[in-house]
Structure 1
Amino acid sequence: MSLLFKELDYRPTPMGVLSLRRRRELSLEIDVYEIKLDDEYLMSSLFTDAEVALADLGLAELDRNNLNVVVGGLGLGYTAKAALDNPKTGKLAVLDTLNEVIEWHQEGLLPLGEQLAHDPRCALVHGDFFAASFSETPGMNPAEPDVKHDAILLDVDHSPSNVLHPDHARLYTEDGLKRLARHLVPGGIFALWSTEMPEPWFEANLKSAFDSIRAEVITFKHPVMDREDINTVYIARTSS
């Protein structure tokens, strides 16, 4: 059995102090990996249902193969893994502004690190997803700036109204979403995870930028407490 608690890494970053910790959840007899920014929990391996659903729901909308996919936010890697597990995925670029998180995966400090770092279809890219979404290049992957994407999956902020950095807020405006949509091929999909119930103001902004949109409410059982948790996955499609 592993130690009950261990801090695996601790790094100061421009966004705050980033820490990676592993603790033993005795009630489930599993190790839990957590990433914190200052005193705020960013993610936990206890809660991965919605991260997987983000990729599963987004890619299910596409009926072609060899998909070119972008994931905004690497985190613990569960959205990226779900995208790679989909047989339709041909190429995946995962953009994360925190190079420290990429290094944790590359160094094998996280359970999915080896798979993500060594899959030839997957590129872990140190870059600002939000800046890339406003770029004038057709694509968001700096290695292939002229190639648009079949799907863009975003899991960074807690919700469109609860962002980790004030600069992120402009993406969720009508103008920001229209700029993001330009990076998608015709009939391409943008999918977004949120910890909140569907927000009408954001759905209205999505409708201004995309041909069709819907909000899927995801319910899943809390693995420790006797309750159900609720997240939302927004799915938007560009015109064909």
Structure 2
Amino acid sequence: MTSRFAELAWHETPMGAISLRRRYDPLLKVEVYEVKLDDEFLMSSLFTVAEVELARLGLAEAVGTDLDVVVGGLGLGYTARTVLNDPRVRSLAVVEVVDEVIEWHRQGLLPFAADLTSDPRTHLIQGDFFAMVDSAEGFDRDEPGRRFHVILVDIDHTPRHLLHSGHAAFYTPQGLRALTDHLHPGGVLALWSNEPPDEDFTAVLAEVFAATQAHVVSFHNPLQQCRAANTVYVARMA
């Protein structure tokens, strides 16, 4: 029988202490995997609809086959695994700043991790996504300057509620233009947010991209027995 609670991993990072926990919810009768940063919940296996939709909506805007995709932020891996379900995807680079999070998947601490780590298209990269955006090298150390068709980002809570103040520059026109240097013409950026659509941020996207849309993704909250919603911003280059 599974124990009611276990802390599977814990590590101190520059942003705070990150931990992976597993608990059994007796009301829902399911095992729940959660990631915390200090005392703040980052993600839970109970709430994955928006992470899945981030990949689905972003890939829906991509044109053609043999797609090369970047995911910024690994977490529990739901976005990355959804990317691999699209047969058009040729390669997937997942950038995660905390090496221990990558090790959770490689060590099989998450029961569904093998779907990601065993796929030959997957490359797990330890690095700072935002620093890579600002670099000429980009997201592929073996092929500096390589461009991608889709970049999916699930790191900060919202474009305003950041995990680290150093991320703020990314959400400006200058920061987003730097990201477009790593996209093919017609390339797509999709970004997850925990809050309703932000008109100011949508306007910033519109300064840089040819087409933008804010998708409201609603889902059932089994803990509070109500509907909840996140936002997925999708922007496409000309």
TM range (shorter): over 0.9
Paired residues of 2:145 and 2:182 also in contact (CA < 8 A): no
Counterpart in the other structure of 1:224: 223
Counterpart in the other structure of 1:103: 103
TM-score by length of 2: 0.97
TM-aligned CA deviation for residue 28 of structure 1:
1.6
The count of aligned residue pairs is 238
Counterpart in the other structure of 1:167: 166
2:134 maps to 1:119: no
Question: Could you tell me how far apart the structure 1 residues matched to 2:88 and 2:69 are?
Answer: 10
Question: Could you tell me how far apart the structure 2 residues matched to 1:25 and 1:45 are?
Answer: 12
Question: Could you tell me how far apart the structure 2 residues matched to 1:78 and 1:111 are?
Answer: 12
Counterpart in the other structure of 2:188: 189
Counterpart in the other structure of 1:12: 12
Question: Could you tell me how far apart the structure 2 residues matched to 1:58 and 1:95 are?
Answer: 17
1:51-94, Cα deviation, whole Å (9 max, x unpaired):
00000000011231110000000000000000001111110000
Q: Which runs of 4+ in 1 moved over 6 A?
A: none
2:16 maps to 1:21: no
- Aligned-pair identity in percent equals 51
Paired residues of 2:136 and 2:144 also in contact (CA < 8 A): no
Trace 1:1-240 onto structure 2 (pairs within 5 A): 1-137=1-137, 139-239=138-238
SS of the equivalent of 1:47 reads coil
TM-score by length of 1: 0.97
1:160-182, Cα deviation, whole Å (9 max, x unpaired):
00000000110001100111111
Question: Could you tell me how far apart the structure 1 residues matched to 2:189 and 2:119 are?
Answer: 23
SS of the equivalent of 2:102 reads helix
Question: Could you tell me how far apart the structure 2 residues matched to 1:141 and 1:208 are?
Answer: 27
